[in-house]
Amino acid sequence: MSGDYRECNFDSIVGLTHNYAGLSFGNVASTKHQNEVSFPRQAALQGLEKMKHLMEMGIPQAIIPPLLRPRIDWLRQLGFYGSPEQVIVQAGQEDPLLLAAAYSASSMWAANAATVSPSLDTLDNRVHFSPANLGSSLHRSVEADQITPLFRSIFSDAKLFQVHDPLPPASGLSDEGAANHTRLCANHGDCGIELLVYGRNALDFSAVAPQRFPARQTYQASQAIGRRHLLKADCAFLCQQNPDAIDAGVFHNDVISVGNQNVLLVHQQAFVNQMQVLSELSDRFAVLTGSTLQVVQVPTSLLPLQDAVDSYLFNSQLVSTAEGEMRLVSPVDCQSNENAQATIAWILNEDNPVKGIDYVDLRQSMNNGGGPACLRLRVVLNRQQREATNGRIWFCETLFDQLCQWIETHYPQQIEVQDLKDPKLLDRSFKACLALENIVQLPLVKIFQEAVK
């Protein structure tokens, strides 16, 4: 296969029905901002600005179109009937939270779209994608059947890509995607270790588990991902998330640790039996890569769990620029948290490859519990694989300008949760999807509607 492997960011565009219905139990920010007014136009533009910033850093950047909302077909499965407008009116009267779930724009967090294994790590030398079933959240469980055909449309070359079906929709196989997956390697073009973090073992009822909030990723799901992706020997490394962290609001592992190449930035309370996990992971890394894993472990005394959740420091993107410099791309919220600021200063002063930080304003996404890392899916591709993708998805100045204009034209300025009862939002969403087809050159309406027949 051809070389020139790069880690690419695939960011979802925030959907025009972005709202604060507060549907995500265990997500502290989602609950905190429930029923507040949201600003979809601002949210989408903030996401685009982050993509542009990453592109200007020399990092290959692509987009994932937003899913078509609301899910009228799903509401019909739940007993509402009539025309789409009638379905919305009925649902709005009888169960507004179900209607909000059908309207949810939570697919904006691309880190939950799928788990991805590069061809470097797989026995068949293909890039493997497993769309997440997201079975632990009602409003997110309706994403997988549209993400799967969308990814199969973008990554259609079967010689280079394998887009699997999502895991079966069982609670014991709950899969939250790349938010619980970190790839560690000497360089992006080398074979790496794929760290698969789970919250609970669905078949071991005596195992430690959180008491306040649900553990969303299961051991069985993480195991299955490694098997179906045909990971090479010693490429898969499983460990359990600390239940105390989950109970503090760390609903995904990317809220408590982040990695890039040979660096793992991790909170002291991220994993069960953390000292043993980090020791075994470092030993495995050394054997596989012939180099040293640099673990930057942030002590609880410096950054308590509550501050990690409030600031989303670990939900920063840890990236390597075109010049080879490793930097954090962090939410501006870190600037207003005293302990997060002290932690950043400590990281930058320590002997490690992280040399700088950039702040991005993602307040609209952060209010629903999604920071910079939540908005992107990391996909390591070589030149041949990048050129084999379909659609006009690779970010550039022209695409940025066109998407900004599309958002300004179609997105509402603001949404209150009660606005979801207005059938006019359905028509607005459909017209926006049709207009986006012309920009990204993918048959989006056909992909999304055929997926649910």
Active site residues: 176, 252, 374
Beta carbons of 84 and 72 less than 8 angstroms apart: yes
Question: Of the candidates 104, 192, 64, which has an alpha carbon nearest to the alpha carbon of residue 425?
Answer: 104
Token pair 């709202």: residue: 19
Q: What is the DSSP string of 254-310?
A: GGTEEEETTEEEEETTSBTTHHHHHHHHHHHHHHHHSS--EEEEEPTTTS-HHHHHH
Beta carbons of 316 and 331 less than 8 angstroms apart: yes
Answer left, alpha or beta for residue 319, where phi above 0 means left and psi between -120 and 50 means alpha. Answer: beta
Partnered with residue 129 across adjacent β-strands are: 116, 163
Helix axes 96-103, 84-94, angle to 10 degrees: 130
Token pair 């549209």: residue: 146
Which residues touch 318 (CB under 8 Å, ≥6 apart)? 258, 259, 260, 263, 265, 326, 327, 328, 329, 354
Beta carbons of 442 and 146 less than 8 angstroms apart: no
Amino acid (1-letter code) at residue 424: K
